[in-house]
Amino acid sequence: MSEKQEFDSRLQAVLRRVYGEQIALASANRLSGGASQETWLLTLSGTGAPDTLILRRAPEGMEATDDSRAIGLPNEARLIRKAAATGVAVPEVVHVLEPDEGVGEGFIMSRVEGETIARRILRDDEYAKAREHLPAQCGRALAGIHRIDGSDVPRIRESTGLAQVEQYEQTYQEIGVCRPIFDLAIVWLKENAPKPLAPLLVHGDFRLGNIMVDEQGLAAVLDWELAHYGDPREDIGWMCTNSWRFGQSEKRLGGFGDVEPLLEAYAEAGGAEFTPRDIDWWDMLGSMKWGIMCMGMYETFRSGADASVERAAIGRRVSETEMDLVNLLEGQRHA
Amino acid sequence: MHDQPSVSELVQAVKNFVDHSAMPELKGRAAFHARVASNVLATILRDLDAREANDGAEYERLKALLPDSDGKTRQALNEELQGRIRSGELTIASAALMEHLKKTAIAQLKVDQPKYSGLATALED
């Protein structure tokens, strides 16, 4: 038996434990993912089970992702179940993999139909209605996420706004490049940090690309691996960061809408009351973080760890965030 | 050294090959990387054209912005600027600093990602 056949056969055994012996695994196709985290589309035959499912897994020995902030797939599954119980639209987790099942670490979830590719969501006619609905839907979803009690989920760390500035400053200084715009942004962020709010569970990567959107709008919140306890304004600011407006700068919220309807829906659904200006600091934090993340990704090329042209090229995207930081700092200067 | 074909012409030739011969034959991840490679070649062409003038202009601005700059390299002046920003001596209140950083960012972005939305925003002002 080939390695893939062995994998499929173990996966089928898992699925039969969940749905019964009458079902079979028709196919398992890898969709995407890096070396440590994979996403697979599973097709099933037989009655009493969905036709398709999604497997998120880390192969054995690869459980520790390269991102130390990540909470790990089993904890992600726990959080998704809690999010569902809080009324947030998420895929249904149907099974969390056990070590003795031999397919690595991860979980199986329902396949939510829709689109994750930002450029399609922002430009295609079929998502025109969705773009209208999304701001308020995102506000309600965030209010739900920020209500989740994750106290019994391990490995969820606390990371406040100011702590993130310091963490990324350290990364920037370790990389050792001289890009004075980042120094200026870091100084400004430190000196103008908002009074911290009581930490809540935040998603940590809430933006287009990580949400499933259908013609009616938000269908599911995905990619929970960066969840942590932090400031609720972080999730709102990240979606407003210009890098995640995918070219549609004039629409502050993700390139599809205004932030006001999000804030309104957020407060109506039980979240705190924020004004658009309360989000400014977090918007700038987002540009600073993404710029330093791009530097870090280029470092994997420079160090020889990843020889791909994509990792080299991302180093030439740092200047996008430098431009955004200059534009935002200029705005603060005249504020 | 001879320069016929010049470095820019050679890069353009490789870009032509990637765009018109290689890319149509590729699928999936390889096609994605070919597209990235083609964009990188376009960046190289812009860098070859603009670097000397951009570096020169940046150097002149740094010399005007910082005292006692005689005889110091562009790199040394950038490090000095970094130090003055970190120490809080230069802040966003300095119009000269902001103008320098904006010009530097615009010049860099015109080479790196000329279609980026933030560049249009900066040029509007």
pLDDT band at A67 (very low <50, low <70, confident <90, very high): low
Closest chain B residue to A176 measured between Cα atoms? Answer: B79
For domain A118-333, the CATH architecture is Alpha-Beta Complex (3.90)
Give the C-alpha separation, A192 to B104, whole Å. 25
Alpha carbon separation from A49 to A43, A45, A56, A154, A291 (Å, rounded): 10, 8, 18, 31, 44
A184 touches chain B (CB under 8 A): yes
Would you say A111 and A52 are in contact if contact means Cβ atoms under 8 Å apart? yes
Give the C-alpha separation, A255 to B27, whole Å. 29
Give the C-alpha separation, A241 to A210, whole Å. 14
**Mean pLDDT computed over A282-296:** 97
pLDDT band at B77 (very low <50, low <70, confident <90, very high): very high
SS3 A88: coil
Residue B1 placed within a domain: no
- For residue A217, what are the β-bridge partners? A214
Which tens digits make up the pLDDT trace of A182-220?
Answer: 999 999 999 999 999 999 999 999 999 999 999 999 999
Q: Of all residues in chain A, what percent carry a pLDDT higher than 90?
A: 90
SS3 A236: helix
Give the C-alpha separation, A326 to B97, whole Å. 11
A272 touches chain B (CB under 8 A): no
A76 pLDDT exceeds 70?
yes
B13 pLDDT exceeds 60?
yes
> What is the CA B60 to chain-centroid distance, rounded?
17
A65 pLDDT exceeds 90?
no
8 Å CB contact of B118 and A324: yes
> What is the CA A102 to chain-centroid distance, rounded?
27
Give the C-alpha separation, B119 to B49, whole Å. 19
Domain containing residue B45: 7-124
Would you say A110 and A94 are in contact if contact means Cβ atoms under 8 Å apart? yes
A36 pLDDT exceeds 90?
no
Would you say A244 and A254 are in contact if contact means Cβ atoms under 8 Å apart? yes
Looking at residue A60, its pLDDT comes to: 72
Which tens digits make up the pLDDT trace of B43-70?
Answer: 999 999 999 999 999 999 999 999 999 9
Looking at residue A1, its pLDDT comes to: 75
For chain A, what are the domain ranges? Answer: 3-110, 118-333
A85 touches chain B (CB under 8 A): no
Q: Computed over its alpha carbons, how large is the radius of gyration of chain A?
A: 21
A240 pLDDT exceeds 80?
yes
Q: Which of B74, B81, B116 to mutate to test the interface with A (most CBs of A within 10 A)?
A: B116
Alpha carbon separation from A314 to A105, A173, B7 (Å, rounded): 30, 19, 23
Using the 8-state DSSP alphabet, how is residue A241 labeled?
S
Looking at residue B114, its pLDDT comes to: 97
A291 closest CA partner among A213, A189, A194: A189
Using the 8-state DSSP alphabet, how is residue A92 labeled?
P
8 Å CB contact of A329 and B92: yes
Structure-token pair, residue B110 = 């015109």
Distinct helix (H) and strand (E) counts, chain B: 5, 0
State the total domains in chain B.
Answer: 1
Phi, psi of A34 (to 5 degrees): -85, -165
The amino acid that residue A212 corresponds to is: M
- For chain A, give the mean pLDDT: 95
Alpha carbon separation from B53 to A182, A212, B47 (Å, rounded): 23, 45, 10
Stretch 60-99 of chain B: residues touching chain A, C-beta under 8 Å = 75, 78-79, 81-82, 85-86, 88, 90-93, 97-98
What fold, for A3-110?
A: Phosphorylase Kinase; domain 1 (3.30.200)
